[in-house]
Amino acid sequence: MSDHQKRFEAITQKLRDHHHKITPQRLAIAKILSKSIGHPSVEDIHAEIKIDFPTMSLATVYRNIVLIKSLGEVLEIGFPDGRNRYDGKRPYPHPHVICIKCKKIVDPDLDSLDDMKSEVESETHFKILNHRLDFFGICTDCMSEKE
Ligand code: ZN
Ligand code: MN
């Protein structure tokens, strides 16, 4: 089973476990979230879903994402401008690298993160439950565009 199939199964199983109706629309949203190509926004997901479900509203897509988020099956990457992005492929906290020009978001693989967590815990005596770590910069595509 591929990673996105595993994620799709996990999301739909969680919906079933919590006795939420499994509708074709809901399955389509779960499928898009399980891939989360490029960390889509609600608008991106809505645009993709409209191909198969032309009457589905943005509000319905949003409600379903809020539901799946409440089940812990999608990570929300919040932004002050309200254009939040979503990662249902990796629903747990992880760092992101964000291009300030084109808003591309990628997942870096960092080995040092576990060390950082224990360092923060030993320094502050907090029990760390969660983290948010974003790196902002300019991606290679945007860099090569400047004259
Ligand atoms: Zn860029
Ligand atoms: Mn991510």
Looking at the structure, tell me whether residues 82 and 17 fall in a common domain: yes
Side-chain-side CA neighbours of 76 within 13 Å: the count stands at 16
CATH for 120: 3.30.1490.190
Q: What is the pLDDT of residue 110?
A: 82
Tokens of 123: 């320094």
Distance 83 CA to ligand 1 centre (A): 16
Structural domain for 37, as ranges: 3-87
Distance 96 CA to ligand 1 centre (A): 14
Looking at the structure, tell me whether residues 81 and 115 fall in a common domain: no
pTM over cut 0.95 = no
In 3-state terms, what secondary structure has residue 105?
A: strand
Closest CA to 41 of 61, 14, 25: 61
Which one of the ligands is nearest to 142 CA? Answer: 1
Do 134 and 80 form a contact (C-beta atoms < 8 A)?
A: no
Side-chain-side CA neighbours of 137 within 13 Å: the count stands at 9
By CB atoms closer than 10 A (0-12, 13-18, 19+), residue 135 is: exposed
Distance 147 CA to ligand 2 centre (A): 31
Q: What is the pLDDT of residue 82?
A: 81
Q: Which residues, by Cβ under 5 Å, contact ligand 2, an ion?
A: 87, 107
**Domain termination residue (choose one: 59, 87, 115):** 87
Looking at the structure, tell me whether residues 54 and 102 fall in a common domain: no
By CB atoms closer than 10 A (0-12, 13-18, 19+), residue 107 is: middle
Measured over the CA atoms of residue 95, residue 99, residue 103 and residue 108, the dihedral's sign is negative
pLDDT of the chain, 147 residues: tens digit per residue: 899 999 999 999 999 999 999 999 999 999 999 999 999 999 999 999 999 999 999 999 999 999 999 999 999 999 988 889 999 999 999 999 999 999 999 999 887 887 888 899 999 999 999 889 999 999 999 999 865
**CB neighbour list of residue 10: distance below 8 Å, 6 or more residues apart:** 73
Distance 10 CA to ligand 2 centre (A): 17
Looking at the structure, tell me whether residues 38 and 101 fall in a common domain: no
Residue whose tokens read 């509203």 = 57
User: How many domains does the chain contain in total?
Assistant: 2
Distance 93 CA to ligand 2 centre (A): 8
Distance 35 CA to ligand 1 centre (A): 21
Percentage of the chain modeled with pLDDT above 90:
84
